[in-house]
Chains A and B, each alone.
Chain A
Amino acid sequence: MHRLDAILTLAGASLRSEFQYRANVVTSIVGGLIYQLTGFLVVFIIVDRFTELGGWTLPEITFLYGMRLTSHGIFYATISQMFEFDRVLINGEYDRFLVRPMSPLVQVLTRKLRVNCFGDLLGGLILLLAASRGVDVDWSLAAIGMLLAAVVGGALVEGAVQIALGSLSFRYLNTLQIRVVANEIFNVYGNYPFRIFPGLLQYLLTFALPVAFVAYLPASVILDETNGLHVSTTLAVAAPVIGVALFMLALLFWRRMSRHYQSAGN
């Protein structure tokens, strides 16, 4: 109970810190929203012009995009501070986190909030809502449950990758660029039905970098597009569980790598 209380206290502090700059909060959220919707516009234009992509209709692809963006928003709201991790190590903030009676990882993740995550979340939800009526899905409790689990699981998958890659900084200090590249791959490849990718790429983006588990696999299940999937349907259904598992693995890896922490002289 105390742990949760401490996490909420820290998260609240970063939220309040951000709201000291009101104008920036508004422009960041609106900016984030426009940013994401412009990204969608590209997909929209292509699919609209050619009526379908890889056998997926416009509402289906919108749905996929919405799922991924919502996951990304959740990920961004909670784990985006991994993008600052190199700096935390180099400027000595991590020392401070280690002399407090709580997990240093939690303190890293709650040190600041990037408010534009709300723009991502908003964009994702708008797309999901817009697409939910256009797609041919019976919105039963099970389907809604799968959607919720998948969206959270997707955030965990992205989080796991960023935490695992970030852990490398304990040894190598500058790994930001690797994380940026990984993040970009999730952002651009995660929005498309994998069917349009060459076979090898489909497997790489499933098992080497788990992009498929964020949105494509669970979306295939919800949209009943599992025919001809490059992996078994069971694996697709299990995507949220895989998200949890990957996240646990990432935490273990983090713990292991943190033994290499050498603290940055002065």
Chain B
Amino acid sequence: MPIIDVDNLVKEFHRPKRFDGPLGGLRTLVTRQMITSRAVDGVSFSIDEGELVGYLGSNGAGKSTTIKMLSGILVPTSGHVAVNGLVPWQERERNALQIGVVFGQRTQLWWDLPLADSLKIIGKLYRVEPDRYRRNLDQFIDLLGLEPFLGTPVRQLSLGQRMRGDLAAAMLYEPRILYLDEPTVGLDVVAKERTRQFIEQINRETGTTILLTTHDLADVERLCNRIIFIDKGNVLYDGPVDRLKRRYAPYRMLDVALAGDGDSAGAIRLDLPGVEIVEQGDARLRIQFDPEVIAVTDLITAVIAEHDVSDIAIVEPDLEGVVRQIVESGNTALTMGGDRS
């Protein structure tokens, strides 16, 4: 039985029509005219316990709106959601006890208080018994390296330290489900890596189900084996990451560095089926090839036979490019591409 079950979820927003000009504010205030927009338009998916799923889409695609309905912030216009058997907006407080939420842009910690105080307050709000609190706290201090700044007021923490504090706060009461909304936004490379490590670890070790939205596709490639991709309120793709790539980005790249001076670069030609030189210059080559048509080994052999090669590397297509391709082509025929069983 899936731990998160979303069925034909729809959310419409109604906003009073805005008027400009003199007394515009007043007219806006009293008007009954509403503008309706559909942010989520019939989304369905289900997630099993222990999965780590990337929830992707461009700005305004409906990601946040979905997460807000899953966490009980918003009431949907129609459709059904069950999170571990609970309807989030009907049993908001009970649902709150079983979910952790991290908004990457906004901390839930108390700005002026030391980090340790914030964690203690969270412990109380979520009714964590003292010894369980102690045990979990020690564990997260250890995992996230919180020790050095536990006594520092949150306002003085770096963004990375604050995110670690927020992750600890969200996991302190051992929720079964964790929603992460842009957890790595604005972090430097080291802090990003640390955050990813932690997410991976708790998913693996505690079996916490994680739903992750992000703009950094490196997060997804590193962490998720399944992604749900939505656009304009619809699910475009739901399935494993590599299948998405295989389907939408069949090509691989071969990066070749040539030995000697770059003079010879001008003369390079490769007459092989399914192969194309896409970039060339300065003793470097980038070759695009279709692995279905030509085997990597054959290609490399052919290149080495004709040129002095100092280095060679195969580049996997990155998710970024794939995603861009899907959105740009606007190919809704791909909908429900994930034939998950």
A–B contact at 8 Å CB threshold (below)? yes
Give the residues in chain A near B125, CB-CB below 8 Å.
Answer: 6, 9-10, 100-102
Give the residues in chain A near B112, CB-CB below 8 Å.
Answer: 16-18, 20-21
- Tell whether A95 pairs with B113 under 8 Å between CB atoms, given A9-B121, A10-B121: no
B110 contact from A13, A100, A171, Cβ within 8 A? A13
Q: Mark B94-130, 1 if CB is under 8 A from A, else 0.
A: 1011010101001010111100010001001111000
Q: Which of A39-47, A184-192, A236-244, A258-266 contacts B (4 or more CB under 8 A)?
A: A258-266
Q: Mark A3-20, 1 if CB is under 8 A from B, else 0.
A: 001100110010011101
Give the residues in chain B near A96, CB-CB below 8 Å.
Answer: 101, 103, 106, 108
Interface residues in A58-101 (C-beta closer than 8 Å to B): 91-93, 95-96, 98-101
Let me know if A262 and B74 touch, CB within 8 A.
yes
Let me know if B99 and A99 touch, CB within 8 A.
yes
- Check A22 for interface membership: any CB of B closer than 8 A: no
A sample of 9 cross-chain residue pairs with beta-carbon separation below 8 angstroms, ordered by A number, consists of A9-B125, A16-B112, A18-B112, A95-B103, A101-B96, A101-B125, A102-B93, A262-B15, A263-B73
Give the residues in chain A near B15, CB-CB below 8 Å.
Answer: 262
Known pairs A99-B96, A172-B16, A266-B59; list 13 more (Cβ under 8 Å).
A9-B125, A10-B121, A16-B112, A17-B113, A20-B112, A96-B103, A96-B108, A98-B72, A101-B93, A101-B94, A101-B127, A262-B74, A266-B64
| CA of A13 to CA of B116, assembled, Å | 12
Q: Mark B42-85, 1 if CB is under 8 A from A, else 0.
A: 00000000000000000100001100100111110000000000
Let me know if B29 and A99 touch, CB within 8 A.
no
Give the residues in chain B near A266, CB-CB below 8 Å.
Answer: 59, 64
- Check B222 for interface membership: any CB of A closer than 8 A: no
Q: Can you name the residue of chain B whose Cβ is closest to the Cβ of A98?
A: B73
| CA of A5 to CA of B130, assembled, Å | 14
Give the residues in chain A near B101, CB-CB below 8 Å.
Answer: 96, 99
Give the residues in chain A near B94, CB-CB below 8 Å.
Answer: 101
- Check B19 for interface membership: any CB of A closer than 8 A: no
| CA of A183 to CA of B110, assembled, Å | 29
Give the residues in chain B near A49, CB-CB below 8 Å.
Answer: none
Let me know if B59 and A99 touch, CB within 8 A.
no
Shortest distance from the beta carbon of A256 to any chain B beta carbon, whole Å: 13
| CA of A9 to CA of B29, assembled, Å | 38
- Check B92 for interface membership: any CB of A closer than 8 A: yes
Q: How large is the interface on A (under 10, 10 to 19, 20 to 34, 35 or more residues)?
A: 20 to 34
Query: Which 10 A-B pairs give the minimum distances between C-beta atoms?
Result: A17-B112, A101-B96, A101-B93, A98-B73, A9-B124, A99-B101, A20-B112, A101-B97, A99-B71, A95-B73
| Residue among B14, B59, B64 with most chain A CB within 10 A | B64
Let me know if B92 and A20 touch, CB within 8 A.
no
B124 contact from A5, A99, A259, Cβ within 8 A? A5
Q: Can you name the residue of chain A whose Cβ is closest to the Cβ of B122?
A: A100
- Tell whether A20 pairs with B113 under 8 Å between CB atoms, given A92-B103, A102-B125: yes
Shortest distance from the beta carbon of A202 to any chain B beta carbon, whole Å: 29
| CA of A96 to CA of B214, assembled, Å | 19
Give the residues in chain A near B64, CB-CB below 8 Å.
Answer: 265-266
Let me know if A172 and B29 touch, CB within 8 A.
yes
Let me know if A92 and B59 touch, CB within 8 A.
no
Shortest distance from the beta carbon of A115 to any chain B beta carbon, whole Å: 13
Shortest distance from the beta carbon of B323 to any chain A beta carbon, whole Å: 19
Shortest distance from the beta carbon of A96 to any chain B beta carbon, whole Å: 5
| CA of A5 to CA of B148, assembled, Å | 30
